Structure 1
Amino acid sequence: MSLKPKSLLKFFIFPLQILTLLLVSCSFDYGNNQLASKDQPDIVMQNVEYVRVRGGDPVVRFHAEDAERFEERQIMNLRNFSFEQFENHGDDIDAMGRAGQASVALDSGNINLGGGVIISVESEDITIETSGLDWQDKERRLLGTPSGDVNISRSDGTEFSGRGFSADARSRTWTFTSGVSGSYVEKEEKEAEEEGDNYP
């Protein structure tokens, strides 16, 4: 099953790209750190917040309860990670998401989200929920866990889920390979039902 929900991909992938740019561009001078174990973080931060501003207006905000950076392994681990994307000069939140944890590969820009992932885009009236997602930066692909269900819903009653989820940012398509079920409400069908409700 293949779909083309362009807007959610746009709203979700943009914060991931900003997160990758932020974490990859950070560098620190640790001095002589030869005795440090590669299993011990080189830097630990708590209540990390980052706001990206464009033209004086906030564009996206990230928050993590804890962040650990492993310089030798080129990994940044985040706990209780969340983001908000703004519109109308920062007055409104249009997209938001959260994950129990996130792991960012600083050399490749790949991101693993786990511990429960929820992403919502208000302007598109769409929500995605799943146990985990992988962002492959070079391929510009978003993948669900192999055995994990991905659930997508809208307030109009559209709701479906499946396994083997993947999304291609270049073609802006979603694909499920198995276990797809649910229902899709066409806009015209919904409007006809609402008009019918006005008659006795």
Structure 2
Amino acid sequence: MVSLLLAACSLDYGSLDDDASTLPDTIVFDFRHTVVRNGRILYKLEAEKAEKWEKEGRFAMEGVTFTEYDPHDGHIVANGHADRGSFYVETESADLSGNVFFAAPGDDITVTTGNLSWNGENRTLSSQLDTITTLSDGASSLSGAGFAADARTRSFIFQETVNGRFVPDSAAPDAAAPELSEVVAPEAATNEAPADEQTITEASTLEQDDATTDTAAPSPALNPVASPANPPATSPSIRPNTSPTDQQGSAQ
């Protein structure tokens, strides 16, 4: 009789593994991820909240800010923020979304967009074709869809719907600038990982697992501009790759 009652009252609670797969391994607040090279801070990634997904090697973040520092003198090379983001520890790559803003104060460059992805292995930035991205560089301001930039060559492209004005660095301040309708894509570049790099992840409040780690991470920095440790042959402001047939417009 007891066995019959137990069988009648049994419930199917599903697989515990299935439930676990829908939950993060760790939830942390006031998240800070710091990369240190040769004893100097290379960059910081911070978030109001971060969820760690161990199998994916990913942090899902809210209220994201990031800052890159010059490894020689410590001044800010680049900074920015986003509403949301995912950070992949192994490749030092990131996907940002919401209101995304990036600035390189030394080059007077700003980028605003709805989504932005940083490929830590190829050192490239990209946004989706359905998102309008605006890049400002001094007197230049261009907006378009399918934005991509190469950190090593310090060049950028727009795949579709380009509008705005590009003023070359060599142009006189009062010179009229042509309107651009298309920019040609540069070839992607790769970058060797630094030899001595350290990653430190911290959180002031956490749930589940301890989120503090101190491990080696021989990966390039989250750096949308050319790294001071690997400067290009020349260091002009970021520029599009163009040919005479790719430009249309008249002097204004």
| Coarse TM-score class (shorter-chain normalised) | 0.5 to 0.7
SS in 2 for 1:37: helix
Deviates more, 1:109-118 or 1:137-146: 137-146
- Alignment RMSD, CA only? 2.7
Say if 2:105 is the partner of 1:122.
yes
Q: TM-score, normalised to structure 1's length? A: 0.67
Shift of 1:107: 6.2
Give CA-to-partner distance per residue, 1:143-197, whole Å, 9 cap, x none. Answer: 212210110113x32101111222345655322111101111233434456xxxx
Higher normalized helix content (fraction of residues): 1
Q: Percent identity?
A: 26
Number of the residue aligned with 2:127: 144
Say if 2:160 is the partner of 1:178.
yes
Deviates more, 1:171-180 or 1:159-168: 171-180
State the distance in 2 between where 1:52 and 1:110 align: 13
Query: Aligned in 2, Cα 1:189/1:136: closer, same or farther, shift over 3 Å?
Result: closer
Q: TM-score, normalised to structure 2's length? A: 0.54
Map 1:46-65; keep pairs closer than 5 Å: 46-65=29-48
State the distance in 2 between where 1:180 and 1:140 align: 23
Query: Aligned in 2, Cα 1:52/1:137: closer, same or farther, shift over 3 Å?
Result: closer
Structure 1 regions of 5+ residues with no counterpart? Answer: 1-32, 194-200
Say if 2:139 is the partner of 1:157.
yes
SS in 2 for 1:180: strand
State the distance in 2 between where 1:107 and 1:94 align: 23
SS in 2 for 1:146: coil
State the distance in 1 between where 2:35 and 2:98 align: 25
Query: What letter is aligned with 2:156?
Result: W
SS in 2 for 1:147: coil
Number of the residue aligned with 1:81: 64
SS in 1 for 2:107: coil
Shift of 1:78: 1.1
SS in 1 for 2:24: coil
Greater C-alpha Rg: 2
Number of the residue aligned with 1:69: 52
State the distance in 1 between where 2:91 and 2:19 align: 23
Shift of 1:138: 5.0
Structure 2 regions of 5+ residues with no counterpart? Answer: 1-15, 176-252
Map 1:12-23; keep pairs closer than 5 Å: none
